[in-house]
Amino acid sequence: MAVLTAISDVPRATLRADLRSRLPEENRTEILDTELNRFLDLGQYDAALKLSGINTIWYGKKETVTIGSGVIDISGYSIMRIIKLVDADNGRIPFFDEAGFEELGGNYAYDATRAVSHFGDELDVFAGDSAPAVGTLTLYFYRKPASMDDTTDEKIDVPDEFQEMVVAFAEKKALQRLGLPVTAKEEELQLAWRAIQQAYGNEFKLEQAGERGQDG
């Protein structure tokens, strides 16, 4: 299977023109370009979210992070979902939800453990009394696609092979905006994504089998 990139050379204006041409002719002038841009942006995010469930090759990223004042600042990264946090010296650092994280301090079983909990733009860090010194920390995550919901004519941040899904999703949103039926379009999208998941079945199964971390 060919390796695909998550960056396209197709400008948003091209997809917007395609989208407008799919609308009923009598309704095409009822929606502004800014609205169509927003629908395409939503479609792009939907595509990225679904593709991240298949493989990391399109939106997977990793960054070296550091602990400061008991937290890891992740506000500088456009994170769609966290995969895992790895300490080069001590291995993978487990994630806990907020309630479980609060209970770690009173549990002696975690005296030699470090753990994190995702809250907003930070990862709260727990260190037991006997926790080892921290090595180099690498955060693995799925990035968000670059926003198209602005005034500049950005390129589409979805592989060429999946841009039809972006336009189809935006078409559904535009039809809803016009008060027109969308059931057939929703069924079309579901069938198309099912076919994509089947085509990339091996990658999907590997991802589901444990490479994905908690998102906090």
Computed over its alpha carbons, how large is the radius of gyration of the chain? Answer: 21
Q: Whole-angstrom Cα distance, residue 46 to residue 31?
A: 21
Residues 6+ positions from 18 with CB-CB distance below 8 Å: 167
Q: Whole-angstrom Cα distance, residue 108 to residue 198?
A: 45
Q: What is the mean pLDDT of residues 44-61?
A: 90
Model confidence band, residue 147 (pLDDT cutoffs 50, 70, 90): confident
Q: What is the mean pLDDT of residues 129-155?
A: 86
Residue range 75-103, pLDDT digits in tens: 999 999 999 999 999 999 999 999 999 99
Continuous segment of H or E residues that includes residue 44: helix 33-52
Q: Determine the CATH number of domain 60-142.
A: 2.40.30
Domain ranges of the chain: 12-56+147-209, 60-142
Residue range 159-201, pLDDT digits in tens: 988 999 999 999 999 999 999 999 999 999 999 999 988 887 6
Per-residue pLDDT for 104 more than 90?
Answer: yes
**Phi, psi dihedral angles at 10 (to 5 degrees):** -85, 125
Give the pLDDT score at 198.
83
Mean pLDDT across the chain: 88
